Structure 1
Amino acid sequence: MNKKNNNIFTKIINNEILSYKIAENKNHLAFLDIYPIKIGHTLVIPKKNIDKIFSLTEKEFLSFMSFTRKIALVLEKVIPCNRIGVFVLGFEIPHVHIHLIPMDQENDVNFSKKRMIFSKKKLVILSKKIKKYIT
Structure 2
Amino acid sequence: MSTIFSRIIRGEIPSHRIAESEEFYAFLDINPIQMGHTLIVPKREEDYFFDLSDEELGAMMRFSKVVASAIKAATQCEKVGLAVMGLEVNHAHLHLVPISGLGDMDFKQKIEPKAGELASWAERIREHLPKHYL
Bucket of the pairwise TM-score, normalised by the shorter protein? over 0.9
- Say if 2:25 is the partner of 1:29: yes
Q: Please name the residue that 1:118 is paired with.
A: 113
Q: Please name the residue that 1:67 is paired with.
A: 63
Q: Please name the residue that 1:133 is paired with.
A: 128
TM-score, structure 1 normalization: 0.92
**Percentage identity across aligned positions?**
34
Deviation above 2 Å: which 4+ runs of structure 1? none
Give 3-state SS (helix, strand or coil) of 1:38's partner. Answer: coil
Mapped partners of 2:11, 2:76: distance in 1: 30
Mapped partners of 1:35, 1:56: distance in 2: 25
Mapped partners of 1:110, 1:121: distance in 2: 24
Deviations 1:8-40 (A, max 9, x none): 101101100110001001110000111100111
TM-score, structure 2 normalization: 0.93
* Shift in Å, 1:119: 3.2
Deviations 1:90-117 (A, max 9, x none): 001011111000111111111123x111
Give 3-state SS (helix, strand or coil) of 2:116's partner. Answer: helix
| Aligned alpha-carbon RMSD (Å) | 1.0
Q: 2:92 aligns with which of 82, 93, 96?
A: 96
Q: Which residues of 2 match residues 47-66 of structure 1 at below 5 A? A: 47-66=43-62
Bigger Cα displacement from structure 2, 92-101 vs 125-134: 125-134
Mapped partners of 1:129, 1:107: distance in 2: 24
Q: Where in structure 1 are there 5+ consecutive unaligned residues? A: none
Mapped partners of 1:27, 1:120: distance in 2: 30
Mapped partners of 2:10, 2:115: distance in 1: 20
Give 3-state SS (helix, strand or coil) of 1:108's partner. Answer: helix
* Shift in Å, 1:120: 4.2
